[in-house]
Amino acid sequence: MAKDDKKGKAPKAKTIRVSKKDAYAVTKDGKIERKKKHCPKCGPGVFLANHEDRLACGRCGYTEFAKKK
């Protein structure tokens, strides 16, 4: 084997942690407003994750693809 060949694990992708407090906003009236869309199959309380080209539910696998422009 050549000396240039590297063995080992591939580098891991960095994960971005999102907290529940980022999914809600408080209006001036003091009411709580949801920022993210909820899953139509699972119901309110289960939010869809935002990806580059789609919205996806982590619980049931429901996916909405973004419209191509």
Q: Provide the residue ranges of all domains of the chain, joining segments of one domain with +.
A: 37-69
∠ CA 61-66-68, rounded to 5°: 145
What are the tens digits of pLDDT across the range 4-46? 566 778 888 888 787 878 888 999 999 999 998 999 999 988 9
Task: Tell me whether residue 26 is exposed, middle or buried, using C-beta atoms within 10 angstroms of its C-beta: 0 to 12, 13 to 18, 19 or more.
Answer: exposed
Give me the pLDDT at residue 61, please: 95
Location of structure tokens 């009236």: 29
In this structure, the number of other CB atoms found within 10 A of the CB of residue 14 comes to: 5
Give me the pLDDT at residue 2, please: 55
pTM of the model: 0.63
Question: How much is the CA Rg of the chain, to the nearest whole Å?
Answer: 19
